Amino acid sequence: MSFQSELLSKEDESYILAHVDLDDPSLFNLSDEISIDDFQEQKYSLLLHNEQTVALNGNYQNTHDYYPADLPKEAESIKLEDQKLNVTQGEFQGPYDFQVIVCTGSKNPWEYSAQLNKIYTDRKSPVPIDFIVKNNSPDTQLFVRVTPMFNSPQYAQDCVYRCPNHEFNGPSDELPKEKCHIVKCLNKNTEYYGDKAKGDRLSFVIPLARTDRVRERFEFYCLNSCPAPGINRKPVEIVFTLEDIHGNTLGRKNLNVRICSCPRRDREKDENIPAAKSRKRGMIVAKKPSKKASVVLSRNLQELTVPVLGPQMRNNVLKYVHDLYAGEILRCGDDIEKQQPYLQGLESVKTIIAKFNDNESSSITQLSHF
């Protein structure tokens, strides 16, 4: 028996015919009433299905073998989307009111900014994150897919990998398929997907326990400052996708991440960025007085003899002392009692200036504004 095919060569046709018994009516659920034409039509459909399977896989495997063998045992039929495609980053809670909450507390080695929805953590510091799923049936198995992505539009199509240093100097017990991931889950049932050599986008899947709230711990293995092909100082976020056993998306949440050696310093710096930009735009921001400005000056007048060279230097010294007294008077506000010693000192300076003005006509022009 033979057939015409535009997809397969003669060798391919021979292979399919050798592995599929086209004359076996049990393959087509034949009944006594089916006609021979219907029988031929169902045979053609089966052949077309086999051709498409071969074209997709690039080899002669059954359709069951197309799915990776490293899927969780509870999710052997979970649908794996092509990780080379762009993952949608838009958030939605879905039918299960999906939520992702970073566990906070005192004396943690990581920092969380609610203002920026961002985690600041050092390498290999376990960060606990709670997943909340409401109205989950005990018979429904749900999963969370974790996908690191660059959250800037110009880098959204790029895949996130570890830098070569941390890839080849990771934990000794790491499996080869885990070495390129910048983030890992400490759950032993986690399954990792994607191949850096093929340009795949990396992700991993965590089976959720059938409860309303599940806590998982995550570790990061590469710094934001690591050079390319690492993160290379580009902003990173983690996309958490709630999926069912068939790979249908039921919810999605995003979390910004910065992996650094000083989490607290970087968090405080990022949270103060708006204020810093305001100052650059000319907005007046009150500053705390320095220790020097807070020193209380003595209110007892003291006589001071200072040798000066020539009338110009003398006039400059007198002008400086005059301005110093005037400034202190302004700082006292309307408090007459505090102003009194500075007013007395200012009058003394004015008397000295007037004396020199009377004796030297050359100084009148320079000091007339007093």
Residues of each annotated binding site: 163, 166, 222, 226
Q: What order of strands is seen across the sheet that includes strand 118-121? A: 111-113, 118-121, 249-259, 236-243, 143-150, 203-207, 191-193
Determine contact, residues 160/146, Cβ cutoff 8 Å. no
Give CA–CA dist 119/256, Å, rounded.
6
Burial class of residue 177, CB neighbours in 10 A (0-12, 13-18, 19+)? middle
Phi-psi region of 199 (alpha: psi -120 to 50; beta: other; left: phi over 0): left
As annotated, the binding site for Zn(2+) includes 163, 166, 222, 226
CA distance readout (Å), 137 to 78, 133, 140 = 18, 10, 5
Residue whose C-alpha is closest to residue 101's, from 264, 205, 253, 259: 253
Residue whose C-alpha is closest to residue 225's, from 262, 194, 270, 195: 262
Give CA–CA dist 222/224, Å, rounded.
7
Instruction: Give strand pairing partners of 207.
Output: 143
